[in-house]
Amino acid sequence: MKQHESSNQEEVHQLLMNLIAADFDTQANMLRCVTTPYVVTEKVSRLIEEAGMKSLADDPPEPDDEVVTPD
């Protein structure tokens, strides 16, 4: 089974070889940036808000600081 495993370096080499062999449009498609969307859950959102409020309570803003409060 070990002989079928490939290292990251081999995988990158193969991807580059495929890229070089492809036509321009295919290369452009292969190189486009693809991001995986994610959703911030309500629980995580609340944790972030609580941490921010604690930070403000621990170190209040200076009188001349601009503070924007959410509506």
In 3D space, the residue among 43, 39, 45, 15 whose CA is nearest the CA of residue 27 turns out to be 15
19 alpha carbon, distance to own chain's centre: 24
pLDDT means per 10 residues in the chain (71 residues)? 70 91 91 83 95 91 82 73
pLDDT attached to residue 43: 96
The two three-digit tokens of residue 37, written as one number: 């969307």
pLDDT of residue 31: 87
How many Cβ atoms sit within 10 Å of the Cβ of residue 2? 4
CA 62 to CA 11: how far, in whole Å?
Answer: 53
AA letter at 35: T
